[in-house]
C-alpha cells in the first residue's frame, strides 16, 4: 500500500513538472533564450526574495531583491507611530484619569505607625535601580527612533538632533547590557515570591483595593506586583533576545528575520513602556508609603500590615524582634 502511494506521488510530481521542463526548450528542441531564462516573476513565485551567488566575500550581499523591505517600512512609518503614541499617551491618560477620580491612596494610620520593617535589602534595591535607570534611558532613546524626527528634530534642527540621536543610539546599545543583567538579577531574587497562587485570584476579584477601600490579603507581592514582575521578566527577555539579533546582524537570522525582530522589539517596547509608566505611578505618586520600599528599603509597619498582611505575619513569625525596627534604627542586613 505504501509503495503504491509513493508511486502515485511520483507520477503526480512528474506530471506537475513535465510542462516546466517542456518550457525550457523551444519546440524544435534547441535552447531558446526567451524560454529558458529566469525572470523576476518566476523567481518570486518560488521564493519571497530573489537571491543568487555572489563572488565577493560578503555572502549576505547575494540577496538581489527583498520586497519585504517595503512592508517593513509600511509598519515602521505608517503603523508604529500610531501604536506607540496610543500605548504611551493612552496609559498616561488612563493614569491621569485614575489620579483625578480615585486620588492618591493614602497611608492609613494605626498604633503601629512609625515603626519600620525592612522590605527590600540593599542588593534588591541595587538590582531594581540598575534595571530601572537603564530602562529610562533605553525607553527614551528607543522612542527617539520613532518620534525623534517628528517631534524633536523640528525644534532643535537636523544637526543637533543627529548628534543627539547618535549618542542616544550608543546609549541604547550599551545600556542594554546592564539592563539584561538587572533583569536576570531580579528574576533570581524575586521568582520565589512571585509564583501565582489562589490568593492572587481573590486579590484580583476584589480589584486589588485600587477602586474600593478594601485591602485584600497579599503575600510579599500582590497579584498586581506579580503581573509587573512577570511582565518585566518576559518582556525583558524578549527585548534582550530580539535586540541581540539586531546588534549582531546575520548572526542568527537573515534580513527578513531581522525585520521581524525589529517589529517584535518595537511593539513589545511601547507596551513595556506603558506598563512601566503604571508601575512608576503606583510606586510613587499613586500610593502614599509605597516609594519607601525602594527608596530606603524600609516601609511603615502600618502600611505593610494593610497591603502585605501575610508577608508581615511571615516575617514576624521568623523572628520575634528581627524585622521590626524602631524609628532611626539601622536595619540589620
Partner 1 sequence: MARMKFLCDADRCIECNACVTACKNEHEVPWGINRRRVITLNDGKPGERSVSMACMHCTDAPCAAVCPVNCFYTTADAVVLHSKDLCIGCGYCFYACPFGAPQYPRVGNFGSRGKMDKCTYCSGGPEPDLSVAEYEKYGSNRLAEGKLPLCAEMCSTKSLLAGDGEMIAQIYKERVIKRGYGSGAWGWKTAYRETIAI
Partner 2 sequence: MKAFLVAVAAALVLASAASFLLAENQRFAYQAFATSGARVSDPGTNLVGPRWTGDIAEPGKAGHKAEAGS
Residues that bind partner 2 (CB under 8 A): 56-58, 122, 125-130, 132-134, 170-171, 173-179, 181-182, 247, 295-297
**Grid cell in block for residue 198:** 489562589
SS3 152: helix
Does 241 engage in binding with partner 1 (CB under 8 A)? no
**Contact between 180 and partner 1 (CB under 8 A)?**
no
Q: Does 115 bind partner 1 (CB under 8 A)?
A: no
* Contact yes or no for 225/233 (Cβ under 8 A): no
Q: Which residues of 290-312 are buried (b: 16+ CB within 10 A; e: fewer)?
A: bebbbeebbbbbbbbbbbbeebb
| Site of grid cell 492618591 | 104
Minimum Å distance from CB 214 to partner 2?
Answer: 33
Q: Is 65 helix (H, G, I), strand (E, B) or coil?
A: strand
Of the ranges 34-42, 130-138, 201-209, 293-301, which one interacts with partner 1 (CB under 8 A)?
34-42
Cβ 126 to partner 2 shortest distance, Å: 5
Say whether residue 173 binds partner 1 (CB under 8 A): yes
Under rule CB under 8 A, residue 65 binds partner 1: yes
CB of 172 to partner 1, least distance (A): 9
Of the residues 91, 117, 118, 146, which one makes contact with partner 1 according to CB under 8 A:
146
Residue carrying the nine cell digits 480589584: 207
Give the residue, chosen from 5, 34, 101, 321, that forms a contact with partner 1 under the rule CB under 8 A.
34
Residues in the chain: 333
- Examine residue 50 and tell whether it contacts partner 1 (CB under 8 A): yes
Instruction: Indicate the residue among 142 and 182 with the shorter CB distance to partner 2.
Output: 182
Q: Select from 10, 54, 59, 202 the one that contacts partner 1 (CB under 8 A).
A: 54
Shortest distance in whole angstroms from residue 179 CB to partner 2 = 8
Partner that binds at residue 159, options partner 2, partner 1, none, CB closer than 5 to 8 Å by kind? partner 1
State in angstroms the smallest separation of the CB of 30 from partner 1. Answer: 12
Rounded Cα–Cα distance for residues 105 and 209 (Å)? 10
Report the nearest approach of partner 2 to the CB of residue 196 (Å): 28
On whether the CB atoms of residues 158 and 166 are closer than 8 A, the answer is no
Q: What is the DSSP string of 258-323?
A: HHHHHHHHHHHHHHHHHHHHHHHHHHTTSBTTTTHHHHTSEEEHHHHHHH-HHHHHHHHHH-SSSS
Do 310 and 199 form a contact (C-beta atoms < 8 A)?
yes
**Nearest partner of 287 among 303, 276, 271, judged by Cα:** 303
Contact partner, 295, from partner 1, partner 2, none, Cβ < 5-8 Å per class: partner 2
Closer residue to partner 1, CB minimum distance, 67 or 114: 67
Instruction: Cell numbers for 104, please give them.
Output: 492618591
Q: DSSP assignment, residue 31? A: B
Under the rule (CB under 8 A), what is the footprint of partner 1? 24, 31-34, 36-41, 43, 50-58, 60-70, 72-73, 76-77, 144-146, 148-149, 153, 158-159, 161-162, 165-166, 169-170, 173-174, 246-249, 255, 258-259, 262
Amino acid at each position: 500500500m505504501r509503495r503504491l502511494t509513493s508511486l502515485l506521488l511520483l507520477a503526480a510530481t512528474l506530471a506537475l513538472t513535465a510542462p516546466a521542463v517542456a518550457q525550457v526548450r523551444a519546440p524544435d528542441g534547441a535552447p531558446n533564450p526567451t524560454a529558458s531564462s529566469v525572470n523576476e516573476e518566476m523567481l518570486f513565485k518560488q521564493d519571497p526574495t530573489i537571491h543568487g551567488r555572489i563572488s565577493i566575500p560578503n555572502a549576505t550581499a547575494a540577496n538581489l531583491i527583498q520586497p519585504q523591505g517595503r512592508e517593513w517600512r509600511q509598519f515602521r512609518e505608517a503603523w508604529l507611530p500610531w501604536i506607540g503614541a496610543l500605548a504611551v499617551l493612552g496609559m498616561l491618560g488612563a493614569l491621569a484619569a485614575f489620579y483625578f477620580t480615585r486620588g492618591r491612596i493614602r497611608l492609613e494610620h494605626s498604633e503601629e505607625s512609625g515603626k519600620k520593617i525592612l522590605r527590600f535589602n540593599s542588593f534588591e534595591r541595587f538590582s531594581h535601580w540598575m534595571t530601572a535607570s537603564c530602562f529610562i534611558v533605553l525607553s527614551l532613546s528607543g522612542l527617539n527612533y520613532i518620534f525623534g524626527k517628528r517631534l524633536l528634530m523640528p525644534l532643535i534642527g537636523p544637526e543637533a538632533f543627529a548628534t543627539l540621536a547618535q549618542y542616544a543610539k550608543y546609549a541604547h546599545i550599551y545600556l542594554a547590557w546592564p539592563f539584561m543583567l538587572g533583569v536576570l538579577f531580579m528574576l533570581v531574587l524575586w521568582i520565589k515570591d512571585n509564583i501565582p497562587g489562589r490568593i492572587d485570584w481573590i486579590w484580583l476579584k476584589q480589584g486589588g483595593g485600587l477602586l474600593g477601600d478594601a485591602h485584600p490579603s497579599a503575600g510579599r507581592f500582590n497579584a498586581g506586583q506579580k503581573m509587573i514582575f512577570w511582565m518585566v521578566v518576559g518582556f525583558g527577555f524578549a527585548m534582550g533576545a530580539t535586540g541581540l539579533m539586531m546588534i549582531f546582524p546575520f548572526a542568527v537570522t537573515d534580513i527578513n528575520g531581522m525585520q521581524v525582530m525589529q517589529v517584535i522589539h518595537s511593539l513589545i517596547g511601547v507596551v513595556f513602556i506603558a506598563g512601566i509608566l503604571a508601575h512608576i505611578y503606583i510606586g510613587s505618586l499613586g500610593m502614599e508609603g509605597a516609594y519607601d520600599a525602594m527608596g530606603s528599603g524600609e516601609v511603615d509597619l502600618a502600611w505593610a500590615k494593610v497591603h502585605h498582611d501575610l508577608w508581615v505575619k511571615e516575617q514576624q513569625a521568623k523572628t520575634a524582634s528581627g524585622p521590626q525596627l524602631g524609628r532611626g534604627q539601622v536595619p540589620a542586613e
